[in-house]
Homo-oligomer: A and B are copies of this chain.
Amino acid sequence: MKKRIALDMDEVIADVLPKFLDIYERELGVRLKREDYWGTHKLYRTSKEVAFIRDFLFDKGFFADLPVMEDSQEVVRELQEHYDIFITTAAMEFKFSLEDKYDWLKRHFPFIHWKNFVFLGDKSILRADYMIDDNVSNLRTFQGKGLLYTAYHNTAEEAYTRVNNWKEIRAFFKQERMKDED
């Protein structure tokens, strides 16, 4: 049986930040750059702004047109030859994200079967061999091997194997398979 990878969506295969930057500019009149967010966690000037911008996550369509993370389609397709890939995404806080995420996956990752989609809230219920996620709290409760995908909010974290992009994910799993063969 193939080993299993639980693969997150937002900020791992779907790039959320550009959308936030667009909304920020449209609503607050300031064009921020990706670097303003990165590692500083200070995109917003006040907590009221944080809440205001975050509310857009509840809108129908927010998750429908996010860009695909570079190289993710190609590498996921390669990994499928060796692993069962499950898309495991925290969707339950935002009701309208359910159909948006479903359509997004069908459009950008048509080679992943719907049987392997998991939309949930608390990822501690998952059983898999690997988890790729940008959220430390998801990795903390995971019993397999966790990979932390670098995002602005986790740059200080040191407890997990870090991957900065999909080329590094490809290299990581190549090494894992070499170890398994030994």
Contact = CB atoms under 8 A, between A and B. Distances in A.
Nearest to A128: B125
A127 B98 CA distance: 22
A62 interface: no
Interface stretch (A19-27, A47-55, A111-119): A111-119
Nearest to A90: B115
Interface SS majority for chain A: mixed
A15 to B, nearest CB: 23
Interface residues of A, number: 29
- Specify how many copies of this chain sit in the oligomer: 2
A79 interface: no
A128 B126 CA distance: 9
A117 to B, nearest CB: 5
Contacts of A103: 95
A92 B114 CA distance: 6
A113 B121 contact: yes
A120 B121 contact: no
A113 B124 CA distance: 15
Residue among A96, A103, A117 with the highest chain B CB neighbour number at 10 A:
A117
Interface of A: 4, 6, 86, 88, 91-93, 95-96, 98-99, 102-103, 113-122, 124-128, 143
